[in-house]
Amino acid sequence: MAVLATIVSTEVDVDQIKAFEHIVPIDLSSIFTGYGPLPAVTGTTNQMGGWDAAGQTRTVHLSDGSMAQEELNEYKHPQYFSYTVSGFTGSLRFLTTSANGAWWFESRPTGKTLIKWRYAFKSRSVFAVPVLWFIAKVLWRGYMAKALTLLKEQVEGNFA
């Protein structure tokens, strides 16, 4: 199985701790508003814990009626967190077995924070790779960039 990853980054005019503490528990529907054929997040349910420790899980609901399970894998305040998304019920279930997201927060001497986000899909089969490549490298990259723009506005607006 191939892994198809996309990385995006931004710098926010907020210190590392504030950025991390705002972003990790963020309401997903406020930043994942859809992109082209990719559905918006409409909410989460069944969250176990405060989304601040490895092993916590939740169900993510999408605007096309599908859902997926998300599990927090690592939580290192205020530098890093990672998660796995699996159990897709929408069309992605035919292409991928799971996806892994990872976020890094790097303090800058200016007081700003560099945020890097990597998202990696694991292909279900060799036949899924071309379609999944297009989703990861074109559509998903756009989805991530849009989410980061909304997130930057939110974080900087909360701490202005």
pLDDT of residue 143: 97
**pTM metric for this prediction:** 0.95
Whether the per-residue pLDDT at 75 is higher than 90: the answer is: yes
Long-range pairs for 144-150: beta carbons < 8 A, 24 or more residues apart: 144/6, 144/8, 144/117, 144/119, 145/8, 146/33, 146/35, 147/31, 147/32, 147/33, 148/8, 148/9, 148/10, 148/31, 148/115, 148/117, 149/10, 150/30, 150/31, 150/33
Whether the per-residue pLDDT at 160 is higher than 80: the answer is: no
Grade residue 55 by pLDDT with cuts at 50, 70 and 90. Answer: very high
- When the pLDDT of each residue in the chain is averaged and rounded to a whole number, the result is 96
pLDDT of residue 158: 87
Fold of 3-158: Alpha-D-Glucose-1,6-Bisphosphate; Chain A, domain 4 (3.30.530)
